[in-house]
């Protein structure tokens, strides 16, 4: 119990990505450490560094980032804050989305570009191997076999440990798995948006880690008097904490990655791992969508 209080993320349970990388299931998403529109440096550089260090102190062993966050800013912050990295820390990054300005994203999946993405992420993160490398988006202009083939080559070279996908359908996962082993899938999923339910169920059946991005979309459900707000008050928690707790209870392959640029908010998110939900509470929250 003492360890859970000091390191609350450990209470989220563990999942082994790709049969090799065991992480505490409640991770941290490093997108919000950048400027507005996921563009440029953070408003408070030192606070961003403190957030990353506090995340690890609280038991966080999975940090998700991408070269497109900033671009490049998030990866640089992670290296500055956390090197030398703890042995149990898994840094997952992504490549294949280019940036033209704030809130602008364009997929580029040419094999030579993906190779450059990996090489530059290795340099920025100051790693010899990226434990989990995710294709940020499938480029519809490039054959999937070429995109996954490039990542497979770099895995064979030891530059990538495991390969993941982002914002994909079951059909796309199956097509990718004909070329490479897929260790994780990162799709939009939260208490109110479950369009990827079929993808989550596929991941459960196949032992693939499911990383829900935008996990804290509580919206109108969190308004005073609403079901989520009422349930949160009964637990003495915030609606966001309860939404995270629901995700952790939803599936053993679920790896939520809430992000923030403030230490206090990071601490609040981590405490969600301590929340226990009864079967009746889970059903009531599940019915909210």
What is the Cα–Cα distance from 48 to 259, expressed in whole angstroms? Answer: 11
89: left (phi > 0), else alpha (psi -120 to 50), else beta?
beta
Q: So what's the pLDDT on residue 198?
A: 98
DSSP string, 17-80: ETTTEEEESS-EE-GGGS-GGGBSS-S-HHHHHHHHHHHHHTT--EEE--TTTBTTHHHHHHHH
Q: So what's the pLDDT on residue 199?
A: 98
- Active-site amino acid positions: 69
What is the Cα–Cα distance from 258 to 266, expressed in whole angstroms? Answer: 8
What CATH number is attached to the domain comprising 218? Answer: 3.20.20.100
φ, ψ of residue 157 in degrees (nearest 5): -80, -5
| C-alpha R_g of the chain | 18
Q: So what's the pLDDT on residue 46?
A: 98
Return the C-alpha torsion angle 52, 43, 211, 178, nearest 10: -110
Q: Which domain holds residue 94?
A: 2-286
C-beta of residue 253 within 8 angstroms of C-beta of residue 211: no
What is the Cα–Cα distance from 244 to 256, expressed in whole angstroms? Answer: 7
Q: So what's the pLDDT on residue 219?
A: 63
Give the residue from 64, 63, 74, 66 showing the smallest Cα distance to 34.
74
Report residues of the chain scoring pLDDT below 70: 1-4, 217-220, 289
C-beta of residue 69 within 8 angstroms of C-beta of residue 33: yes
Neighbours of 164 (CB within 10 A): 27
Q: What is the DSSP letter of 101?
A: S
Q: So what's the pLDDT on residue 229?
A: 84
What is the Cα–Cα distance from 203 to 196, expressed in whole angstroms? Answer: 11
Which runs of consecutive H residues, i.e. helices, occur in 186-273? 197-206, 227-235, 239-250, 263-271
Q: So what's the pLDDT on residue 53?
A: 98
pTM for this structure? Answer: 0.95
Q: Count up the domains in the chain and report the number.
A: 1
């Amino acid at each position: 119990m003492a360890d859970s209080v000091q390191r609350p993320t450990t209470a989220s349970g563990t999942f082994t990505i790709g049969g090799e990388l065991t992480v505490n299931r409640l991770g941290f998403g490093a997108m919000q450490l950048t400027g507005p529109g996921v563009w440029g440096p953070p408003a408070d550089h030192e606070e961003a560094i403190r957030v990353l260090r506090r995340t690890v102190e609280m038991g966080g062993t999975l940090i998700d980032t991408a070269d497109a966050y900033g671009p490049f800013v998030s990866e640089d912050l992670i290296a500055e804050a956390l090197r030398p990295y703890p042995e149990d820390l898994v840094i997952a990054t992504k490549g294949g989305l280019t940036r033209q300005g704030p809130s602008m994203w364009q997929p580029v999946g040419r094999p030579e570009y993906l190779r450059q993405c990996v090489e530059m992420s290795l340099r920025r993160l100051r790693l010899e191997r990226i434990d989990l490398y995710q294709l940020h988006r499938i480029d519809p202009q490039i054959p999937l076999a070429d995109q996954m083939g490039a990542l497979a080559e770099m895995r064979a070279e030891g530059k990538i440990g495991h390969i993941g996908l982002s914002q994909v359908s079951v059909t796309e996962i199956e097509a990718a798995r004909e070329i490479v082993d897929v260790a994780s899938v990162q799709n939009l999923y939260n208490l109110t948006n479950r369009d990827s339910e079929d993808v989550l169920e596929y991941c459960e059946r196949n032992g693939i880690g499911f990383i829900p991005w935008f996990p804290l979309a509580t919206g109108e459900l969190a308004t005073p008097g609403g079901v989520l707000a009422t349930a949160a008050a009964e637990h003495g928690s915030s609606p966001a904490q309860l939404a995270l707790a629901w995700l952790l209870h939803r599936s053993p392959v679920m790896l939520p990655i809430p992000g923030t640029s403030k230490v206090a908010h990071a601490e609040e998110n981590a405490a969600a791992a301590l929340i226990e939900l009864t079967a009746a509470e889970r059903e009531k929250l599940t019915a909210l969508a």
